[in-house]
Amino acid sequence: MRLTAMLTAILMAVSLLAAGAQADGRYGKQKVVYHINYDGGDGDKRYRGALRNIQNHINAVGAENMDVKVVLHGNGLGVLKSAKTNEQLKVAVASLKSQNVAFQVCANTLRGRKIDFNTDLFDVYQEDIVPSGVAELSHLQQQGYTYIKP
């Protein structure tokens, strides 16, 4: 009787440990591309919401389990333009970058709108520029990235 109770307790403990391990690894490794091509609205509310969504995603899955890219084109470049003066956006972008989130900027938009990424956008370098935002979205999806438009 005691042996049966002890074996039952051991089996229950092992089951709980296995369930906990499954919950911890629930989402596994993820490759995700976030697409931002819209205006931020009053107080950059839409941009702040999008960046918060990305952070919440990282919090749920773990930065070490994620490969996150944010593709910006058209009005979406406003995220990095506003981050030059909007402290909340600046902090959010810097924080995401510190978690290895890559912000990719469309060269077509830069050219078409005469935007100088060195002076007009927050923390953008030559290696952050992609030839075409929409082509980059397609390219990343072909590589297995999940598309999300927050």
H or E element, residue 98: helix 87-98
The tokens for 128 are 């952050």
Token pair, residue 133, equals 């935002």
Q: What is the pLDDT of residue 81?
A: 98
Instruction: Report residue 96's pLDDT band, with 50, 70 and 90 as the boundaries.
Output: very high
List the beta strands (DSSP E) in the chain: 30-36, 66-72, 102-106, 129-130, 146-148
Q: What is the DSSP letter of 131?
A: S
Q: Rounded to two decimals, what is the model's pTM?
A: 0.83
The top-level CATH class assigned to 28-148 is alpha beta
One-letter amino acid at 59 equals N
Helix (H) or strand (E) holding 94: helix 87-98
Under DSSP, is residue 39 helix (H, G, I), strand (E, B) or coil? coil
| Contact in structure between 91 and 122 (CB atoms under 8 Å) | no
How far, in Å, CA of 28 to CA of 65, rounded? 7
**10 Å Cβ neighbour count for 81?**
23
Model confidence at 8, in pLDDT bands (50, 70, 90)? very low
Mean pLDDT within 47-75: 98
pLDDT digits (tens, 9 = 90+) for 110-150: 999 999 999 999 999 999 999 999 999 999 999 999 999 99
Q: Which of 142, 127, 134, 73 lies closest to 97, judged by CA?
A: 127
Tell me the C-alpha to C-alpha distance, in Å, between residue 150 and each of 33, 84, 98, 106, 142: 10, 22, 21, 18, 20
